């Protein structure tokens, strides 16, 4: 009897001990790659747990900028019949300031209980020299990833067009998985226009004499509006890179380390020269190489008919930054304000095309009238001197109409004759006998027409109210139907993206369609307005926070960029998780 009681007590103690050990075996901790780092270095933070959980919430990362993550990895192994589980959420952070910065607590729910990590303090010092260890992934990225700003002409004249092209060079031994723009130059003191890049294309080139891959990230045309020394602020990108290691996984595939790096093109200085002082009086700021042409739609017409005279400037240069010269005509040709027309395209060589002013002229009297030649002066950047062009004089022949007291008009005479009509019959159009007819003098009050006029406005108002009310209901129903339809398409393509996680091209096509249809359902944005700038403005107007805006724009850029670069499974999974997260957040907000 005693032995049985002892055995029961022993089993109970073992069970309690086992349950206690299971309860205490939950381990959730925050691990940092280093406790001390420079302002120019990145920090990796891993939130690691030995049991699977739900509702993971990272800290706010105050004092840091998140440049990568979250990346999720899971390890599930059995050794000698014992299961070992590990799940990790990884973030890459860039410090924003020097000093002691604390990585806050992360939380997760495991077996119905909330677990928290301990805060981790990190000391950020001045920028440090990057390690030159060839096995250090940060050193490999630093040596094999470069952002270059190429300026076509660092010493232009005032208003002379130049171009700046930003190229991202990377060695073939590393894989670029994600690129995001974090600092964009504003090009102060320049007239600027970005040249749209439809798709990023990988090209082969050389950097410092070595073979590199590169993509053109940004192209901009600039026209300096101020002389002297002008600075172009740097462009900065956050780039996520997969660096190969010497290790391989169970299937023999090479293992990659993901590194996030901020790269900058650096400041560029443009020395702008003044134009020569000997500019003619007809110079109005045109710089480039141009032609001028003066044309009319007709030269023979009758008085009170109209003709159009067009002065057109065509060529290459700062066409949008000056106006065509005006034409001069005698006062007998009534001249109206011109209609401005612009047909200009912009590429890396600058502006090309033509601008014109079209004047409507209406002659008042018979005779021949000159449209004087027009002088146009521009500064030729190739010859580095001013050039003046003249148009031909055009004679307008008015065949029929009133005549002047001075019948002959000398086209060579610059003086304009007095515009005096003959006095005979000049007021003949005024009728002196109107031939008025007496109307019926019967009373209008209380007649049928009287009541129709009184009640007709009220009847029309009622019809208008009914019409607009029914139209409003119809428009809202149609808008609601479109929103539901596009929302279903977004969910459909997001589901297809999940099924194609192992097929990169199909995954990013489906993901892009899902995000596009989601925007159409929530913001009523059409395909013609589907641009990153337009999307960011709409989200900002709906009070969406900056982090969600940046994450959504980064996913759009990833869809464009990933079609032309190799992407790891980690990056694809990460993009899918981010898409689900941002769509859920926007769905709740909008």
Q: Distance between CA 463 and CA 406 in Å, rounded?
A: 64
User: Is there a single domain that holds both residue 234 and residue 114?
Assistant: no
User: Is there a single domain that holds both residue 44 and residue 75?
Assistant: yes
Q: Look at residue 539 and tell me whether its pLDDT is greater than 90.
A: no
pLDDT value at position 263? 87
pLDDT value at position 490? 59
Q: Quick one: CA dihedral 543, 512, 235, 174, positive or negative?
A: positive
User: Is there a single domain that holds both residue 141 and residue 267?
Assistant: yes
Q: Which residue has the higher pLDDT, 108 or 537?
A: 108
In this structure, is residue 389 part of a structural domain? yes
User: Is there a single domain that holds both residue 249 and residue 188?
Assistant: yes
Q: What is the mean pLDDT of residues 39-44?
A: 80
Q: Distance between CA 43 and CA 41 in Å, rounded?
A: 7
90 touches 240 (CB < 8 A)? no
202 touches 217 (CB < 8 A)? no
The model's pTM: 0.54
Q: What is the mean pLDDT of residues 121-135?
A: 76
In this structure, is residue 584 part of a structural domain? yes
Q: DSSP class of residue 403?
A: -
Least confident window among 252-261, 477-486, 505-514: 477-486
Q: Write the DSSP assignment of 256-289 as a string of letters.
A: EEEEEEEEE---EEEEEBPPPS---TTEEEEEEE
Under DSSP, is residue 430 helix (H, G, I), strand (E, B) or coil?
Answer: coil
Q: Look at residue 391 and tell me whether its pLDDT is greater than 50.
A: yes
User: Is there a single domain that holds both residue 55 and residue 175?
Assistant: no
Q: Look at residue 417 and tell me whether its pLDDT is greater than 50.
A: no
Q: Write the DSSP assignment of 312-336 as a string of letters.
A: EEEEEE-GGGS-PPPP---TTEEEP
Q: Look at residue 102 and tell me whether its pLDDT is greater than 80.
A: yes
Residue 561, both tokens: 């960029």
Q: Look at residue 219 and tell me whether its pLDDT is greater than 90.
A: yes
**% of the chain residues with pLDDT over 70:** 77
Of 90, 125, 160, at which residue does a domain stop? 125
Residue 10, both tokens: 């022993």
Of 97, 125, 153, at which residue does a domain stop? 125
Q: Distance between CA 49 and CA 31 in Å, rounded?
A: 11
In this structure, is residue 185 part of a structural domain? yes
Q: Distance between CA 158 and CA 274 in Å, rounded?
A: 6
Q: Distance between CA 77 and CA 83 in Å, rounded?
A: 6
95 touches 37 (CB < 8 A)? yes
User: Is there a single domain that holds both residue 92 and residue 157?
Assistant: no
Q: Look at residue 500 and tell me whether its pLDDT is greater than 80.
A: no
pLDDT value at position 411? 47
Q: Look at residue 54 and tell me whether its pLDDT is greater than 80.
A: yes
CATH code, domain with 504:
1.20.120
Residue 588 banded pLDDT, cuts 50, 70, 90: low
Q: Look at residue 23 and tell me whether its pLDDT is greater than 50.
A: no
92 touches 69 (CB < 8 A)? yes
Residue 28, both tokens: 């959730």
> Crossing angle, helix 546-561 and helix 569-589, to 10 degrees?
140
User: Is there a single domain that holds both residue 226 and residue 250?
Assistant: yes
> Which of the residue ranges 177-181, 193-197, 200-204, 310-314 has the most confident prediction, judged by mean pLDDT?
310-314
Q: Distance between CA 421 and CA 464 in Å, rounded?
A: 53
Query: What order do you get walking across the sheet with 254-264 strand by strand?
Result: 175-183, 236-248, 254-264
* Average pLDDT score over the chain: 80
User: Is there a single domain that holds both residue 121 and residue 144?
Assistant: no
pLDDT value at position 20? 45
pLDDT tens digit sequence for 566-585:
555 557 777 777 777 777 77
Q: Look at residue 252 and tell me whether its pLDDT is greater than 80.
A: no
3-state SS track over 516-546: HHHHHHHHCCCHHHCCHHHHHHHHHHCCCCH
Going by C-alpha positions, the residue among 230, 142, 155 that lies closest to residue 185 is 230
Q: Look at residue 143 and tell me whether its pLDDT is greater than 60.
A: yes
Q: Distance between CA 257 and CA 370 in Å, rounded?
A: 79
| Domains: count for the chain | 4
User: Is there a single domain that holds both residue 95 and residue 172?
Assistant: no
pLDDT tens digit sequence for 323-359:
999 999 888 888 999 999 999 999 989 999 999 999 9
C-alpha distance from residue 464 to each of 6, 458, 476 (Å): 94, 10, 18
In this structure, is residue 326 part of a structural domain? yes
Q: Look at residue 479 and tell me whether its pLDDT is greater than 60.
A: no
Q: What is the mean pLDDT of residues 207-215?
A: 91
Q: Look at residue 309 and tell me whether its pLDDT is greater than 70.
A: yes
C-alpha distance from residue 118 to each of 24, 95, 102, 105, 327 (Å): 16, 20, 10, 6, 79
User: Is there a single domain that holds both residue 121 and residue 221?
Assistant: no
Going by C-alpha positions, the residue among 180, 360, 164 that lies closest to residue 260 is 180
User: Is there a single domain that holds both residue 116 and residue 156?
Assistant: no
Q: Look at residue 427 and tell me whether its pLDDT is greater than 80.
A: no
In this structure, is residue 12 part of a structural domain? no
User: Is there a single domain that holds both residue 258 and residue 162?
Assistant: yes
Of 250, 272, 294, at which residue does a domain stop? 272
pLDDT value at position 2? 54
In this structure, is residue 405 part of a structural domain? no
Q: What is the mean pLDDT of residues 518-543?
A: 70
Going by C-alpha positions, the residue among 43, 109, 31 that lies closest to residue 73 is 31
Which domain range does residue 191 map to? 137-272
pLDDT value at position 133? 66
Residue 38 banded pLDDT, cuts 50, 70, 90: confident
pLDDT value at position 245? 81
Q: Distance between CA 515 and CA 428 in Å, rounded?
A: 74
CATH code, domain with 61:
2.60.40.10
pLDDT value at position 370? 93
In this structure, is residue 447 part of a structural domain? no
Q: Which residue has the higher pLDDT, 69 or 109?
A: 109
pLDDT value at position 491? 64
pLDDT value at position 373? 93
Q: Distance between CA 123 and CA 100 in Å, rounded?
A: 5
Q: Look at residue 445 and tell me whether its pLDDT is greater than 90.
A: no
Strands 99-103 and 120-125 turn out to be antiparallel
In this structure, is residue 19 part of a structural domain? no
pLDDT tens digit sequence for 264-304:
888 899 999 999 998 999 999 999 999 999 999 999 999 88
């Amino acid at each position: 009897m005693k032995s049985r009681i002892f055995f029961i007590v022993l089993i109970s103690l073992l069970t309690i001990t086992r349950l206690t050990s299971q309860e205490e075996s939950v381990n959730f901790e925050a691990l940092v790659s280093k406790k001390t780092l420079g302002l120019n270095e990145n920090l990796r933070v891993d939130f690691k747990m030995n049991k699977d959980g739900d509702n993971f919430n990272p800290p706010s990362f105050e004092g840091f900028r998140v440049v990568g993550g979250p990346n999720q990895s899971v390890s599930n192994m059995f050794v000698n019949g014992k299961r070992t589980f590990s799940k990790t959420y990884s973030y890459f952070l860039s410090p924003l300031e020097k000093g002691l910065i604390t990585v806050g607590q992360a939380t997760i729910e495991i077996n119905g209980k909330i677990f928290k990590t301990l805060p981790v303090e990190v000391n950020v010092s001045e920028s440090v020299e990057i390690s030159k260890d060839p096995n250090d992934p940060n050193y490999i990225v630093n040596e094999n990833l470069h952002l270059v700003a190429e300026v076509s002409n660092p010493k232009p004249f005032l208003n002379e067009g130049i171009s700046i092209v930003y190229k991202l060079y990377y060695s073939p031994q590393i894989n670029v998985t994600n690129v995001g723009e974090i600092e964009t130059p504003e090009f102060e003191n320049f007239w600027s226009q970005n040249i749209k890049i439809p798709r990023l294309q990988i090209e082969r080139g050389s950097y410092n004499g070595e073979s590199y891959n590169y993509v053109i990230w940004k192209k901009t045309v600039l026209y300096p509006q101020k002389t002297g020394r002008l600075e172009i602020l740097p462009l900065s990108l956050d780039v996520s890179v997969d660096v190969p290691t010497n290790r391989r996984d169970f299937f023999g595939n090479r293992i990659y380390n993901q590194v996030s790096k901020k790269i900058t093109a650096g400041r560029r200085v443009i020395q702008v020269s003044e134009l020569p002082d000997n500019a003619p009086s007809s110079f109005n700021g045109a710089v480039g190489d141009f032609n001028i042409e003066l044309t009319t739609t007709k030269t023979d017409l009758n008085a009170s008919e109209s003709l159009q005279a067009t002065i057109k400037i065509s060529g290459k240069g700062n066409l949008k930054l000056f106006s065509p010269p005006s034409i001069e005509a005698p006062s007998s040709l009534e001249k109206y304000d011109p209609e401005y027309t612009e047909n200009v395209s912009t590429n890396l060589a600058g502006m090309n095309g033509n601008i014109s002013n079209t004047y409507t002229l209406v002659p008042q009297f018979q005779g021949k009238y000159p449209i004087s030649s027009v002088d146009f002066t521009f500064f030729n950047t190739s010859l580095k001197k001013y050039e003046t062009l003249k148009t031909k004089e055009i004679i307008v022949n008015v065949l029929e109409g009133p005549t002047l007291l001075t019948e002959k008009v000398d086209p060579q005479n610059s003086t304009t004759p007095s515009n005096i009509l003959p006095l005979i019959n000049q007021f003949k159009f005024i009728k002196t006998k109107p031939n008025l007819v007496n109307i019926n003098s019967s009373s209008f009050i209380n007649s049928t027409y009287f009541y129709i006029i009184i009640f007709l406005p009220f009847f029309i108002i009622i019809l208008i109210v009914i019409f607009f009310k029914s139209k409003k209901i119809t428009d809202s129903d149609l808008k609601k139907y479109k929103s539901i339809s596009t929302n279903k398409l977004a969910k459909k393509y997001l589901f297809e993206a999940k099924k194609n996680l192992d097929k990169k091209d199909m995954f990013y096509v489906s993901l892009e369609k899902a995000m596009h249809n989601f925007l159409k359902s929530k913001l009523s944005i059409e395909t013609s307005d589907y641009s990153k700038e337009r999307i960011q403005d709409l989200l900002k107007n709906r009070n969406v926070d900056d982090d969600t805006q940046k994450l959504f724009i980064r996913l759009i850029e990833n869809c464009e960029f990933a079609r032309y670069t190799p992407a790891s499974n980690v990056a694809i999974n990460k993009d899918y998780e981010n898409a689900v997260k941002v769509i859920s957040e926007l769905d709740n907000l909008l």
